[in-house]
Chain A
Amino acid sequence: DIQMTQSPSSVSASVGDRVTITCRASQGFGTWLAWYQQKPGKAPKLLIYGASSLQSGVPSRFSGSGSGTDFTLTISSLQPEDFATYYCQQTNSFPITFGQGTRLEIK
């Protein structure tokens, strides 16, 4: 199985801040990497696919980069609605696996 490790596990930030979340894979797989946002009591929402492609309807302040084993999700200017938990996911090989999540909290 490909292990996905996110860092940090939690981060505190303020509205307007730039935040970067990292996801590292135990083995490389190109750009078969997605990012999701999950708010309490809700299903995850797709933000980024193919490591860097923005899902339709997602604000442009979200961006993704990376390939192989190292990936990042960046939020350029935090908005109040961005405080949530974020997960990376590899879809390159079975079983599909997710990172453990990064909780983004208000400072």
Chain B
Amino acid sequence: QVQLQESGPGLVKPSQTLSLTCTVSGASINSGSYDWDWIRQPAGKGLEWIGRIYNVGSTNSNPSLKSRVTISVDTSKNQFSLRLRSVTAADTAVYYCVRVQPGAFDAFDIWGQGTMVTVSS
């Protein structure tokens, strides 16, 4: 079955760039018509959508993140990645990568386990 696994540093200094990778196993990332998203959740709070990379390679992101977001894909490694620039303490959260299921009204049918990222000096 398809599984997602986030990886990356758990601690990032303020003003630096947060970089995370999501490794897809059990299927090829560019097979089918799936899109891939990033979501985050500060401790004790709700879910925030960060952005999407479409199966054709284009992207979309949350305007609330003020163009700090870059999402990319590496099909040779079956991975997609998130870069969030100029981080502050407000970016401290658990970050999830998810698969978008077009046959389910674009709901998120598969989630990674999540990775905690703390922004602190």
Taking Cβ atoms with an 8 Å cutoff, the residues of A that contact B are: 31-34, 36, 42-46, 49-50, 53, 55, 87, 89, 91, 94-101
Contact = CB atoms under 8 A, between A and B. Distances in A.
B34 interface: no
Nearest to A50: B105
B28 interface: no
Contacts of A46: 104, 107-109
Interface string B38-59: 0000000011110000000000
Nearest to B48: A98
Contacts of B111: 43-45
A46 B111 CA distance: 9
A45 B111 CA distance: 8
A49 B104 contact: yes
Interface string B98-112: 000100111111011
Given A43-B112, A43-B113, A43-B114, A49 B46 contact: no
